[in-house]
Amino acid sequence: MPMAIGTFSDTSIFPDPVYKETVLRPLFDGAKDHHVEGFRRIDRAHLVMLHDTGILTIEQARPIAQALDAIDREVDVSTLTYTGEVEDFFFLIEKELRARLGPDLAGRLHTARSRNDIDHTLLKIGLKQRIDPLLERLVRLAETLASVAERESSTLIVAYTHGQPAQPTVFGHYLSAVLETLLRDIARLEAARDIVDRSPMGAAAITTSGFPIDRDLMAHLLGFSRPLQNSYGCIASIDYITSTYSSIELIFLHLGRLIQDLQFWTSFEVGQVYVPNAFVQISSIMPQKRNPVPIEHMRHLASQTVGRAQAMLTIMHNTPFTDMNDSEGESQSFGYGAFESGGRVLDLITALIPALRINPDRVRQNIRRSCITVTELADSLVRREGLSFREAHEIAAEVSRSVVAIGGEIAVDGYETFREAFERCAKRQTTIDVAQFAEIVSPENFVAVRDRFGGPAPGALSHAIAGYNQEISGMRSRIQEAAQRAQASAQDLQTRFTALLGVR
């Protein structure tokens, strides 16, 4: 921590003007913008704890409580301008207390605490205030994906690998794959939140205090699940930052892949996804254009979020294992931008996904042109005709080459080539007739026979979606329970603080 400037002992000392404008003013403004409520809650909870443990008597605690309450009512923080008279927001509050109570009584509030544990507690409160709404948005997106996956559980699409048509599946199967990844991402962010949800208060500067403080009570009053145990770690560990932002980075890196697919699938050449007019912009000069620009905005906002989250990890890199400014103040204010841009992505994609429709004519056309059902022909030859898969693969490859060469459709134009290739390879006639061949290479059959765990067939997909919904329900319940715990701790703090005020 920098040396206190112009606090109480020497009000004639002011910071260097450049230091004031480049460091102290931005830090003060960041605290004013993001952490005022956290400061208030920490002061009140610490005062309640000091009284509850007998460190302060009621005669000492009550006037401090009354002064804190008066400051909250009388000082409009939003209008404050940094002057350099005090170093930071913490010392501003202490200066106000001193003016109202005198130096002896005002100074007692800071018993058994430090700006070190205060700062990390503030940052954790700030992160929790942003993680929880982000989790809410993520779970809402998960619910949306599950709902649309169920709606589109029989809607054929072309699945691509390496940018080329590969096999038919259903849109619900694709969205379920996206959902599975999202659920793992949410679990990672929940795990990060659990790390954030441990209170540093009571660590003081580094080694706790000789006073009989109650760290569990402080954690409860501040809405944390428990105290972080090691006091050195309370002020030195930054894994609550790195775990949070690495989780955010992965979330939007992964969503970026979905967004890129949507960009590709909505292109004129592919066209298997239709974006309704409410999500389309027109060209100012080209009358025929339908530009699904929300997809582009999701892409660049997701990339901004990844970049901001990654930058937070870079800022933490090679920092010493101790309390240091790199992890605090302006770094945290910078990191909050990831929550803002990420929230916009989640809101937009949650609105867009249900509005999308698959273009069945274009899907059929692309299936026909690409012969992507031919894998099932090879599989069926193994099951029905007893061929090795390599023999079956060679026959199927010859069929697809001949159909593509004439721009035909495999179900209509592929049988004769198949019959001839089979006889040449197997030295006998096939038992598969024209009608059976057409059924085997139909996209509906391709999907239907893949009724295995994780597959796209109706039974397998329905089972999967039921499991996703159960997992989502658990996540939703945990969000609600966390909100209830936060509300209960806030109410308990208010009740205890009001009692200190002597208000009946």
* 252-269 residue pLDDT tens: 999 999 999 999 999 989
Query: Taking a C-beta distance cutoff of 8 angstroms, is the pair 243, 195 a contact?
Result: yes
C-alpha 63/C-alpha 97 separation (Å) is 10
Percent of the chain with pLDDT over 70: 97
- What distance in Å separates the CA atoms of residue 320 and residue 232, rounded to the nearest whole number? 13
Torsion angle in degrees (nearest 10) through CA of 306, 308, 313, 315: 160
Check pLDDT > 70 for residue 163. Answer: yes
Q: What are phi and psi of 226, to 5 degrees?
A: -170, 170
Hey, is 170 helix, strand or coil?
Answer: strand
Gap between the Cα atoms of 20 and 480, Å rounded: 43
Q: Is 489 helix (H, G, I), strand (E, B) or coil?
A: helix
Give the confidence band of 24 by pLDDT, cuts at 50, 70, 90: confident
CA atoms of 309 and 357, how far apart (whole Å): 33
pLDDT tens, position by position, 30-56: 888 888 899 999 999 999 999 999 999
Say if residue 121's pLDDT is above 70: yes
pLDDT tier at 77 (50, 70, 90 boundaries)? confident
Reported confidence tier of residue 13, pLDDT bands at 50, 70, 90: low
- Work out the angle at residue 105's Cα, subtended by the Cα atoms of residues 100 and 108, and round it to the nearest 5 degrees: 125
Cα separation, 91 vs 198, whole angstroms: 25
- Of 345, 170, 158, 354, the residue nearest 275 (C-alpha): 354
Would you place residue 175 in the very low, low, confident or very high pLDDT band (cuts 50, 70, 90)?
Answer: very high
Q: Residue 107 has what pLDDT?
A: 93
* 8 Å CB contact between 27 and 109: no
Mean pLDDT of 174-178: 98
Cβ within 8 Å of residue 234, ≥6 positions away: 117, 120, 200, 202, 203, 228
- Does residue 8 or residue 211 have the better pLDDT? 211
pLDDT confidence band for 78 (50 / 70 / 90): confident
**pLDDT over 80 at 283, yes or no:** no
CA distance 67 to 234: 29
pLDDT of res. 286: 86
pLDDT at position 347 is 97
- Whether the pLDDT of residue 3 is over 70: the answer is no
Across the range 142-167, mean pLDDT stands at 97
Distances 209 to 50, 198, 201, 204, 223 between C-alpha atoms, Å: 12, 18, 11, 7, 22
Residue 335 has pLDDT above 90, yes or no: yes
CB-neighbour burial class of residue 146 (10 A; exposed 0-12, middle 13-18, buried 19+): buried
Categorize the per-residue pLDDT at 504 as very low, low, confident or very high, splitting at 50, 70 and 90. Answer: low
Q: Of residues 279 and 228, which shows the higher confidence score?
A: 228
Cβ pair 238, 322 in contact under 8 A: no
Q: What is the mean pLDDT of the chain?
A: 93
Q: Is 330 exposed, middle or buried (0-12, 13-18, 19+ CB in 10 A)?
A: middle
Statement: residue 180 has pLDDT above 80: yes
Mean pLDDT of 418-446: 96
Under DSSP, is residue 167 helix (H, G, I), strand (E, B) or coil? strand
Q: What's the pLDDT score for residue 136? A: 98
Q: What does DSSP assign to residue 322?
A: S
Q: How many residues does the chain have?
A: 504
The pairing of beta strand 156-161 with beta strand 164-170: antiparallel
User: What kind and span of H or E run contains 497?
Assistant: helix 458-501
Query: Helix or strand or coil: residue 354?
Result: helix
> What is the structure's pLDDT at 75?
84
Residues 6+ away with beta carbon under 8 Å from 15: 5, 6, 24, 84, 87
Alpha-carbon distance of 120 to 232, in angstroms, equals 12
β-sheet bridge partners, residue 158: 168
Q: How far apart are CA 116 and CA 108, in angstroms?
A: 17
Which of 8-17, 300-309, 322-331, 335-344 is least confident?
8-17
Among the residues of 80-170, which ranges form H helices?
Answer: 89-101, 103-107, 115-151
Average pLDDT over residues 471-498: 97
Q: What's the pLDDT score for residue 11? A: 45
Distance in angstroms (rounded) separating the CA atoms of residues 114 and 208: 9
